[in-house]
A = this chain, B = another copy of it.
Amino acid sequence: MLPLPLLDDWIRAALREDLGTGDVTTEILIPQDRKGRAFFLAKEPFLVAGLDVSVRVFELLCCDFVCLSRVRDGDAVQKGSTLLEMEGPLRTLLSGERVSLNILQHLSGVATLTRRFVEAVEGTGARVLDTRKTLPGLRALEKYAVRVGGGFNHRSSLSEGILIKENHIRACGSIGEAIRNAREQAPHCLRVEVEATTLEEVRQALEAGAETILLDNMSVENIRSAVRLAQGTARLEVSGGVTLENVRAVAETGVDWISVGRLTHSAPGVDVSMLVR
């Protein structure tokens, strides 16, 4: 993840989005010098991610603010657990509450779902990856949450990896040609991965010397065949249609990576709330 200060503009934008022209209710009803003490409470069990960002929200609203974290990113909390204790101006606590919780509930949601996938494949040697199917503006944070949950990151942007898809192959004439061109031209820091949708394409990719092959939307049976074909020469990633129900079966085929779009685009938010005293 980027160092926190580099996220300040993003957090401030989130605050402006929620505050609009100001928290009218709080400005009217809460005296400016009233202090408060707030707690973030888990209302269901989950895996914590995003705590630092969540605290930073309040720090950016007000300097006169003290926070004590009771847990850390990566901790599993139970229903009723206290995550944070904070003291500061009551207005700041109330005005920053929603943005802080919105970040925490989403990132913890991503981490929690990731952890479930990771546990589902435990012992198989397969790794759970995220994808670029993220929510616009949130990618860096979501990818961080995936790591917190025990998953691994696929490329974070189109410049952080070479992935040759069907359309690229068609434009080049053949898988072999596409792989050769990519290897020839790509920055040497990036690996070249190629997508295959059939076993025939897997074969062509292997012949062309592919280092990594993405098996796109294949049946478990075909994946198993691909593993046999590739053994010892290329590493395999499975992508498409992977759920908590079928992920173990996929993992047991012996593939190296399983990428799961829903880790980021469909993770339900966790239930967390702020209590003020």
Contact = CB atoms under 8 A, between A and B. Distances in A.
Nearest to A171: B30
Given A171-B90, A188-B212, A269-B266, A23 B137 contact: no
A200 interface: no
Contacts of A75: none
A106 B136 CA distance: 9
Contacts of A153: 187
A61 interface: yes
Interface string A142-163: 0100000000111111111111
A164 B23 CA distance: 11
Copies in the complex: 6
A123 B19 CA distance: 34
A71 interface: no
A16 to B, nearest CB: 6
A124 B261 CA distance: 37
A168 B30 contact: yes
A106 B264 CA distance: 11
A232 interface: no
Contact of A28 (B1, B61, B182): B182
A63 to B, nearest CB: 8
Given A20-B159, A105-B265, A153-B187, 4 more contacts: A25-B163, A98-B132, A135-B135, A188-B257
Interface of A: 1-3, 5-6, 9-10, 12-31, 34, 36, 60-62, 90, 92, 94-95, 98-99, 101-103, 105-106, 109, 129, 132-140, 143, 152-168, 171-172, 178, 181-182, 185-191, 193, 212, 235, 237, 256-257, 261-262, 265-269, 276
